[in-house]
C-alpha cells in the first residue's frame, strides 16, 4: 500500500494509507514543529477532503495552534493567506493531479512555500519519533474560519495586470476547472478582467470529469469547446489550481511547457531580469532570455517548487516556474499559481492582439520525451557516474544529472520515493531527442 512522504508533503490512498490517524499525527507533527502559533489550512474539493482536513486540524489544535480554516481553496491561495494572516505556517489538503482515491497533506512555512529538503526531513523526523507536543487545556485555542481567500487572491493578481487593456480586448475564454478548487476564483478573475467565460467542470465536488492531470489526452473536451465557442484561449487547471495548461485559439493543446514560456516572454518584454526554472524545464526559456539581451539570465534549480521559489527570491527574479504548467510571480505569491498564469497570458494577448496560435508558432519549438526506468538507488548512482565519466556535454549534478549539448539536453533524475529514475530529453526534433536519450540509457 502506497504512502509517499517527500519534500512535497504526504500522499496516500484514502482508506489504505491516508487514514484519519495518519492525518491527525501529521497535524500534531506540524503543530509541534511550529510551537503553536497561527496556521491556515485549506483543501481541494476531493470527497475525502473533509475527513483529512478535520483530522489534521484536530492534531494542530492539540498541539496548541490557532487554526484558521479557509475552506475549499487553491494551493496558491493558502500560500497567499499565510502572508495575509501573518501565520507561522499553512497546510493544504490535496493530492494535486492524482486521481480522486488519493489525498495528501502539503506543508507551507512562514515564507509562503514548502520547506527545503533539510527542514522537511527534520519535520518528518518528528513523525517517525512521535515527538509531539500536546497542549494542556489552558493552552488550547479556538478554531477560526476565514472565507476571504478567493477575493484576496484575485485582488492581488489583478494589481499586477494591465486590467483595462485586457478588458478592452474582450477575450473569449474557456476554463476547465476539473471540478477542483480553482473554479470559483478562476472564473471570478476572468470575469473581473472582462472576459466572456465558458466554464467547464466548474462544480467543486471532486468527482473529476476526466483524469485530473492537465495533459493533452485528458483535455480533448477543452480543445473541442475552444473550437465550438470560437474562443481566444482555453485554460485547464489541476485540482488544487497551481498548474495551468493552455489550448490556443485553434483548439490545439500547446502543452504545459508553454505556460511558463509565455509568462516569461511577457514579463521580459516589460522588465529584463533573472528567471528561475528547474532542470527539467524546456530550453524555450533559455532562448527567450537570450533574446531579451543584457541583464537577463536563467537560474536552473533542482526539481521541486520550493527550490524554484527559493531561487526566485534569492536572485530577485522577475518570473519563475516549472515546465509542468506552474508559474511563480513573486509579486503575488512565491508558489505556482494558475491565476497568475492566466493573467499573464491574457496580458500578452491584450498587448499583442495577434491570435495565440500565431504567437506560439513564432516561439522556439522543441520536442520533449519523458521515460521512466525501474532501477534501485545504488544502481542509479553507478549509472550516473558512468554517464558523468563518458559524456562530452556540459554537466549539472544539482539534481540527478543533466547533460547539455548544443543540439539538446538530457536530465536523469532519481525518484525520492520510488526505485525508479526519470529520463527527460529535449531537442529541436524527435529523432535527435531520442538519440540523445539513448546515449544515456545505453549506459544503464
Phi, psi for 266 (deg, rounded to 5): -70, -45
Count CB neighbours of 255 within 10 A. 19
Annotated active-site residue 96? The verdict is yes
Q: Given the residues 96, 177, 280, 282, select the one marked as catalytic.
A: 96
On whether the CB atoms of residues 94 and 10 are closer than 8 A, the answer is no
On whether the CB atoms of residues 96 and 82 are closer than 8 A, the answer is no
What ranges make up the beta strands (E) of 49-115? 65-72, 89-93, 102-109
Count CB neighbours of 65 within 10 A. 31
User: 184 Cβ partners below 8 Å, 6+ apart?
Assistant: 72, 150, 204
Phi, psi for 211 (deg, rounded to 5): -50, 135
Q: 181-201 as b/e, with b when 16 or more CB fall inside 10 Å?
A: bbbbbbbbbbebbbbebbbbb
Rounded CA separation 92/104 (Å): 8
On whether the CB atoms of residues 256 and 324 are closer than 8 A, the answer is yes
Which residue, chain included where needed, has cell 497567499? 80
Q: Which among 225, 195, 197 is positioned nearest to 209, based on CA atoms?
A: 225
On whether the CB atoms of residues 375 and 420 are closer than 8 A, the answer is yes
- Which of helix, strand or coil describes residue 362? coil
> Containing H/E element for 233?
strand 233-237
- Which of helix, strand or coil describes residue 94? coil
Rounded CA separation 248/234 (Å): 6
The single-letter DSSP state of residue 112 is S
Rounded CA separation 170/404 (Å): 43
Count CB neighbours of 394 within 10 A. 11
- Residue 278 is placed in which grid cell? 528547474
Catalytic residues: 96
Amino acid at each position: 500500500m502506497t504512502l509517499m512522504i517527500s519534500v512535497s508533503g504526504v500522499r496516500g490512498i484514502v482508506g489504505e494509507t491516508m487514514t484519519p490517524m495518519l492525518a491527525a499525527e501529521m497535524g500534531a507533527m506540524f503543530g509541534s514543529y511550529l510551537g503553536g502559533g497561527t496556521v491556515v489550512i485549506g483543501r481541494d474539493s476531493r470527497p475525502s477532503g473533509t475527513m483529512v482536513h478535520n483530522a489534521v486540524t484536530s492534531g494542530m489544535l492539540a498541539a496548541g495552534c490557532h487554526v484558521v480554516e479557509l475552506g475549499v481553496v487553491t494551493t496558491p491561495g493558502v500560500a497567499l493567506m499565510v502572508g495575509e494572516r501573518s501565520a507561522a505556517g499553512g497546510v493544504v489538503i490535496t493530492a494535486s493531479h492524482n486521481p480522486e482515491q488519493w489525498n495528501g497533506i502539503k506543508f507551507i512555512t512562514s515564507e509562503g512555500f514548502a520547506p527545503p529538503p533539510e527542514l522537511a526531513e527534520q519535520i518528518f523526523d518528528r513523525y517517525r519519533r512521535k515527538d509531539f507536543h500536546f497542549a494542556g487545556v489552558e493552552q488550547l485555542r479556538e478554531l477560526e474560519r476565514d472565507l476571504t481567500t478567493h477575493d484576496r487572491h484575485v485582488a492581488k493578481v489583478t494589481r499586477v495586470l494591465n486590467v483595462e487593456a485586457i478588458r478592452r480586448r474582450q477575450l473569449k475564454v474557456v476554463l476547465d476547472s476539473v471540478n477542483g478548487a480553482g473554479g470559483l476564483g478562476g472564473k471570478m478573475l476572468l470575469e473581473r478582467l472582462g472576459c466572456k467565460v465558458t466554464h467547464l467542470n466548474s462544480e467543486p465536488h471532486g468527482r473529476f470529469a476526466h483524469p485530473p492531470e492537465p495533459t493533452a489526452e485528458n483535455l480533448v473536451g477543452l480543445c473541442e469547446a475552444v473550437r465550438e465557442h470560437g474562443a481566444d484561449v482555453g485554460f485547464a487547471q489541476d485540482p488544487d489550481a497551481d498548474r495551468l495548461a493552455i489550448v490556443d485559439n485553434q483548439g490545439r493543446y500547446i502543452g504545459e511547457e508553454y505556460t511558463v514560456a509565455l509568462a516569461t516572454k511577457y514579463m521580459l518584454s516589460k522588465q529584463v531580469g533573472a528567471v528561475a526554472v528547474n532542470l527539467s524545464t524546456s530550453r524555450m526559456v533559455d532562448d527567450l532570455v537570450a533574446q531579451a539581451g543584457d541583464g537577463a539570465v536563467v537560474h536552473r534549480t533542482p526539481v521541486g517548487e520550493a527550490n524554484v521559489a527559493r531561487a526566485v527570491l534569492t536572485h530577485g527574479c522577475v518570473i519563475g516556474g516549472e515546465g509542468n504548467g506552474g508559474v511563480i510571480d513573486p509579486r503575488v505569491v512565491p508558489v505556482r499559481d494558475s491565476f497568475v498564469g492566466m493573467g499573464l497570458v491574457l496580458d500578452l494577448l491584450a498587448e499583442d492582439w495577434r491570435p495565440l496560435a500565431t504567437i506560439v508558432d513564432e516561439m522556439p519549438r522543441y520536442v520533449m520525451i519523458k521515460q521512466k526506468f525501474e532501477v534501485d538507488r545504488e544502481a542509479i548512482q553507478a549509472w550516473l557516474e558512468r554517464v558523468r565519466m563518458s559524456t562530452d556535454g556540459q554537466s549539472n549534478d544539482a539534481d540527478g544529472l543533466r547533460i547539455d549539448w548544443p543540439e539538446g539536453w538530457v536530465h536523469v533524475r532519481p525518484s525520492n520515493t520510488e526505485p525508479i529514475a526519470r529520463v527527460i530529453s529535449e531537442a529541436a526534433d524527435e529523432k535527435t531527442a531520442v538519440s540523445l536519450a539513448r546515449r544515456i540509457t545505453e549506459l544503464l
